[in-house]
Amino acid sequence: MDVLYFAWVRERIGIPKERVDSSAATVMDLVNELRAREDRYAAAFEDVSALRVAIDQELADFDAPLDGVREVAFFPPMTGG
């Protein structure tokens, strides 16, 4: 699936988007896989309560299943308007 990062999550990880081959069952499983990769991921995902996630461009929860998902995005709380 495609994994996207925005705002300071993008800055900490250093890339806006990457292809991730994962068999993670839920968003939180994916977060744990990413955390284990490198320090920059561990830093970005240090506190998931400070993050939001979207699955296929809809806001979702961290316990949401990833079955059949094409795109997951991680970002801080939004500050539009």
Partner 1 sequence: MRIAVQTAPFDLGDEAARFASAQSHSGAVVTFTGVVRDVSGGLQAMEIEHYPGMTERALTDIAQQAMDRWSLEDALVIHRHGTLTVGEQIMMVATAARHRKDAFEAAEFLMDYLKSRAPFWKREVTGDGEAWVAARDEDEDALKRW
Torsion angles phi and psi, residue 65, rounded to 5: -75, 150
* Alpha helices (H) along the chain: 7-13, 27-37, 39-44
Instruction: Tell whether residue 49 is a contact of partner 1 (CB under 8 A).
Output: no
42 or 59: whose CB is closer to partner 1? 59
Residue type, 51: L
Q: Which of 49, 67, 68, 77 binds partner 1 (CB under 8 A)?
A: 77
User: How many secondary structure helices (H) and strands (E) does the chain include?
Assistant: 3, 5
Applying CB under 8 A, the span of 21-29, 32-40, 60-68, 70-78 interacting with partner 1 comes to 70-78
Count of residues binding partner 1 (CB under 8 A)? 16
Positions touching partner 1 (CB under 8 A) are 4, 6-8, 54, 57-59, 73, 75-81
